Amino acid sequence: MRLLVLLLLFHLSTNGFSQLEDEKSVQVFKHLYSFNFEEADSIISSIDSTTESSNYNFLRAHYMRWFHLPIHNQNDSILNAYKNYLTTAEVNIELNKFNYNQINGALLSAEYNYNKGNYYKALQSGSMVYDLVKNNLDQEPEQQEVKLLSALYHYYYQYYKTENSVIGTMIWFFKEGDKETGLKWLEEVANQESIVSTEALIYLSHIYLRLENNPDKALYYANKLHQLYPNNLKFYELYIESHFSLGELTREVYSQIQELKDSEKTYFQKYGICYEAIGKNIEAELRSDEKETRLNEALSFINQNGGGSHLSSLLFRSLYHTTGDEEYLKQKNKHEVYQFALTGYTPKQKDYNYKN
């Protein structure tokens, strides 16, 4: 039971559920999504941390989470500061009222403790949020923020029930979810004009790309996300991988790969170098041995800079496709995080021709 709660809460907290209480908060999030960190920091600094402590800590936590990607891999000084900004949720289930900032803080706290292996603390932080969600599954919630949470619960409940037999045996502890309802509600939230719609776009891009293995739909939402926030390097991965999954190489894809490589942060450099090697592999202009060399060089860079199972699985898949070496396939399977086009699984579209 605990495992399922944590898995669900991990996904509910992945991008930060947020109801923004004033125009300053809205502007902070727009700047964070646009990677305008100086502007976001300036607005947050103008908020009184004493009289508006909840909102101040809420925004500071999100600022750190976006600036220090991935937050759970940072040094103790950064992690301690981040942890101090996280607030505790206060939910009134009976009246169905809650403080949006504190709910968000509870989800971020659950995510933080989950990634650090503190599962009991993660469960404590998230249990109140689960109590809220389970009361908003039957009827479509009017509030977009609650609708987002409920949509994610609906989807991931069925996802884990179907994809993980171990979790499937524990599913009877929880209220039933429906995947199609979850996707429908997510798409409806994504069509609204709000910050919450941005979060829905992130989830839809990820879900359709890596979980539903539907790159056409993934690209549709990744493109909308890119149009809204063209400077967000984190969003590039959804856009690039959707194109790669369709066997497409565009000028915009190459431009984004170069921006990732040119980033001052190693985290983004790893993505850029990985994607560049895969892009060269798709082009089919190089000899097989040259492709193998480039892909292995990308793997070496990733391994020398903290590793990364997802990127490694993409590279090992390309290496296996290029060389036919079964050892590369074994390594792909070992590192595989998602079963989708870029790890060798045929997408759902009809008459689809995978080019990598």
Residue 355, pLDDT score: 44
Answer whether residue 351 shows pLDDT above 60: no
What's the rounded mean pLDDT across residues 304-327?
Answer: 96
The rounded distance, in Å, linking the Cα atoms of 261 and 264 is 8
Alpha helices in the chain (DSSP H): 2-12, 23-33, 37-45, 53-67, 76-85, 100-115, 119-134, 144-163, 165-168, 179-190, 195-206, 215-228, 233-245, 251-262, 266-283, 288-304, 309-323, 326-335
pLDDT score for 122: 66
Burial of 296 (0-12, 13-18, 19+ CB in 10 A): middle
Give SS3 for 70. coil
Among 19-28, 87-96, 269-278, 319-328, the range scoring the smallest mean pLDDT is 87-96
Distance of alpha carbon 98 from alpha carbon 105, whole angstroms: 12
Exposed, middle or buried, 341 (CB in 10 Å: 0-12/13-18/19+)?
Answer: buried
Q: Name which residue leads in pLDDT, 208 or 21.
A: 208
Token reading at 4: 């399922």
35 φψ region: left (φ > 0), alpha (ψ -120 to 50), beta (else): left
Tens digits of residue pLDDT in 108-121: 777 777 667 776 67
Using the predicted structure, report yes or no on whether residue 305 has a pLDDT greater than 80.
yes
Residue 140's pLDDT band (boundaries 50, 70, 90)? confident
**Does residue 176 have a pLDDT over 70?**
yes
Share of the chain above pLDDT 70, in %: 79
Determine the pLDDT at residue 83.
82
What is the Rg, in whole angstroms, of the alpha carbon atoms belonging to the chain?
21
How far, in Å, are 169, 316, 324 from residue 310 at the CA level?
Answer: 27, 10, 20
pLDDT greater than 50 at residue 89: no
Neighbouring-strand partners of residue 98: 91
For the residues of 269-331, what is the DSSP string, one character each? HHHHHHHHHHHHHHH--S-HHHHHHHHHHHHHHHHHTT--HHHHHHHHHHHHHHH--HHHHHH
For 180-197, write each residue's pLDDT tens digit. 999 999 999 999 887 789
- At residue 324, does pLDDT exceed 60? yes
Can you tell me the mean pLDDT for 85-99?
50
* pLDDT value, residue 354: 40
Q: What's the full length of the chain, in residues?
A: 356
Cα separation, 186 vs 200, in Å, equals 6
Residue 170: what pLDDT? 58
By mean pLDDT, which of 3-17, 164-178, 196-210, 251-265 is the weakest? 3-17
Average pLDDT over residues 166-187: 79
Q: Give the tens place of pLDDT for each residue, 73-86.
A: 889 999 889 888 87
> In the predicted model, what is the mean pLDDT of the chain?
83
| 90 pLDDT more than 90 | no
pLDDT in tens, 278-299: 998 887 778 899 999 999 999 9
Q: What is the rounded CA–CA span in Å between residue 244 and residue 251?
A: 13
Please, what is the Cα angle at 57 between 52 and 60, to 5 degrees? 125
Instruction: Using the structure block, give the residue that is written with the tokens 């524990």.
Output: 170
- What is the pLDDT at residue 350? 47
Residue-level pLDDT at 266: 96
pLDDT for residue 91: 42
In the predicted structure, residue 49 carries a pLDDT above the cut 80: yes
Are 170 and 157 in contact by the 8 Å Cβ rule? The answer is no
